[in-house]
Structure 1
Amino acid sequence: MLFAPVLLLVASSMRIVSGADWCYQSEVTCNHTCTGPEEWGLVSQHCSGRSQSPINIVTKRMLRRDFLPSFDFFGYQEAFHGHLINTGHSVQLDLPSGIRIENGNLNGAYKAVQLHLHWGKDGGPGSEHTIDGEQFPMEMHLVHIKEEYDSIAQAGKDPTGVAVLGFFIQKSMSANKKFDPLLDALKYITQPTNRTTLKGVSLEMLTLPKNNMTKYFRYSGSLTTPNCAESVIWSLFENPVPLSSKQIAVFARLQFPTGKQMVQTYRPVQPLNDRQVYYSRGHLAQLSGVLLITCVLVSSALSPSPSV
């Protein structure tokens, strides 16, 4: 009678161990069995938590808040050399020390550690987060951790240890030349574990103009790949980064460990549960300030001059 529970425990343990080979749904085939997103809870119990990412942002239900001011960016405008890697799941750019963000209602400074992207197939839906059900062709994540930590794994143990800036990428009629250095380098890292050095780029080149980075969505969530630690302060910018269809198609050069094209590299949206999504009003506050100054000047101009 004791054998059944023991065998069940062994089988369960074996399933969890084999589940460590996680993958996206697009990589699951009859000849290659790996643990797809629906079973990532077998890889890490965090992936079955109640505060998981990504999510669908329903704009009618978000709350507008003045406590979400603009970010302060340090080192974003400085050119650097960084390692560009095919991780087997995505393309990742390791970032040098000295790049950090502050403000944005964050609790202190967060240093940048890496940048990676998620995309679809043939220019189709590929972002992880969605807005009112709309899925963009791509999504870029700039991962930051609190300055006192040395790694994402270490920061992941802190409920607010990680701050990710998310950028939706939308199709544009014209090419975004600022992305050319990164796109040109992809031909050197088509195979998993391949790496190359990306030279002379800056985060300012790959993101939005600062005046387009005041409007963002904020919520508390998780990493979107195992171990899915629920330690992320998410800030998703409303305005998308433009790339042409040809530029988006270049990411299909990369390959999964199976040799298949690296496509549809996104986790499906997760339940929001009892969390709240907030929307910054920094741009409205700036506009209100301009209107206030204008009103004061107009009022002064229309007021009768005092008698001499």
Structure 2
Amino acid sequence: MQQLILPVLLASFWTICTGLDWCYQSQFTCDNMCNTPDKWGETYSDCVGKSQSPINIVTRKTLKDERLTPFIFTNYREVFSDTITNIGYSIKVGIPTFSTISGGGLPTTYNALQFHMHWGNSEGPGSEHTINGERYPMELHIIHVKKDYDDLETALSDPEGVAVLGFLFETSNTANERYDPLISALPSITAIDSEAPLESISLAQLIPHEKNLTSFYRYKGSLTTPGCNEAVIWTVFKNTIPLSMDQLTAFSQVTIEDETPMVGNFRPVQPLNGRKVFQSGGAVILVSSALLLAAIATALGLSQPN
């Protein structure tokens, strides 16, 4: 009986200690023996499912899909005010405006709900998705739910209820001023559940220009945090977001309990298990081929007379 009681007591202690019953490998210490990603499945069965995220995208194995047309971003340029919150494993910003995405091969319109980031530390990268095995400095996730749903929990009951836009970052020699409002608020949220006002920001200012968002990867996956629900249509864009090293370092200086740095908050890549990863560009190729054939016909004098 004692052998059974001790693990239960320890599990209860870990939950109280961290505020969560799971954590990232970087947060595991002798004083915080939380469940690291390799053990998430012991509590959350979906975390050992067959369609988990993130993944390593091997570009030469992706399939062109002409249905992956450019996205339609509605109200992404609208400026809004909200709060930025330290949620213990990332920072989160709610999106109170009626910003939506459609097109892009999505089955319907999706409403923006919130965004958050994943990063490494001041010495290493921390994106969740990798491209050909390369991990990028940081990754932004903009969470959307189907227009029929009011919250994430309800949307997760639908296999296509959630659409996440993933953006990878690169290190730049110059600072990205568009990120100033976000980064300047980070020193004010150094404890779990702490929050600070975030004013005058738009989704459009955080991501590449719309004209540079026509190239992307697509696959079916899951949330990258417990419960790892397999209800997500993933889009990972090819164009990256530049931030200076100082700006990237500002994220790894966010802390959790006992001034412990919030670093390495990314889940390791998961097996594809036979899933296909698609990339946009099929429609462009078809159009280009048609124009090429028309040009050849004109050059050969094969075009029909008026």
Output the TM-score relative to the length of structure 1: 0.89
| Equivalent AA in structure 1 for residue 179 of structure 2 | F
* Equivalent position of 1:72 in the other structure: 72
* Equivalent position of 2:147 in the other structure: 147
| Equivalent AA in structure 2 for residue 256 of structure 1 | I
CA distance in 2 between counterparts of 1:45 and 1:298 reads 57
Aligned length: 299
Equivalent residues in 2 for 1:143-182 (5 A)? 143-182=143-182
Is the Cα contact below 8 Å between 1:32 and 1:258 reproduced in 2? no
CA distance in 2 between counterparts of 1:143 and 1:117 reads 11
Equivalent residues in 2 for 1:40-79 (5 A)? 40-79=40-79
Cα distance, 1:12 vs. partner? 7.7
Q: CA RMSD in A?
A: 2.5
| Equivalent AA in structure 1 for residue 55 of structure 2 | I
* Equivalent position of 1:186 in the other structure: 186
Is the Cα contact below 8 Å between 2:88 and 2:192 reproduced in 1? yes
* Equivalent position of 1:266 in the other structure: 266
Structure 2, gaps ≥5 residues long: 302-306
* Equivalent position of 2:230 in the other structure: 230
Q: Secondary structure at the match of 1:46?
A: helix
* Equivalent position of 2:200 in the other structure: 200
CA distance in 1 between counterparts of 2:297 and 2:274 reads 47
Equivalent residues in 2 for 1:25-36 (5 A)? 25-36=25-36
Cα distance, 1:133 vs. partner? 0.4
CA distance in 1 between counterparts of 2:113 and 2:26 reads 27
Q: Deviations over 1:140-174 (max 9, x none)?
A: 00000011212111111111110000000110111
Cα distance, 1:253 vs. partner? 2.5
Go from structure 1 to structure 2 and tell me whether the alpha carbon gap of 1:16 and 1:146 turns closer, same or farther (over 3 Å shift). farther
Cα distance, 1:257 vs. partner? 2.6
Q: Say yes or no: does 1:101 pair with 2:95.
A: no
CA distance in 2 between counterparts of 1:123 and 1:202 reads 29
Q: Secondary structure at the match of 1:47?
A: helix
Cα distance, 1:43 vs. partner? 2.7
CA distance in 2 between counterparts of 1:229 and 1:268 reads 16
* Equivalent position of 2:246 in the other structure: 246
Q: Say yes or no: does 1:21 pair with 2:9.
A: no
Q: Secondary structure at the match of 1:255?
A: coil
Cα distance, 1:121 vs. partner? 0.8
Is the Cα contact below 8 Å between 2:24 and 2:264 reproduced in 1? yes
| Equivalent AA in structure 2 for residue 197 of structure 1 | P
* Equivalent position of 1:88 in the other structure: 88
* Equivalent position of 2:278 in the other structure: 278
Cα distance, 1:286 vs. partner? 4.4
Go from structure 1 to structure 2 and tell me whether the alpha carbon gap of 1:302 and 1:41 turns closer, same or farther (over 3 Å shift). closer
| Equivalent AA in structure 1 for residue 85 of structure 2 | I
Cα distance, 1:111 vs. partner? 0.3
Cα distance, 1:42 vs. partner? 2.3
Output the TM-score relative to the length of structure 2: 0.89
CA distance in 1 between counterparts of 2:203 and 2:233 reads 20
Cα distance, 1:299 vs. partner? 7.7
Q: Say yes or no: does 1:135 pair with 2:173.
A: no
CA distance in 2 between counterparts of 1:63 and 1:147 reads 28
Cα distance, 1:298 vs. partner? 9.8
Go from structure 1 to structure 2 and tell me whether the alpha carbon gap of 1:66 and 1:187 turns closer, same or farther (over 3 Å shift). same
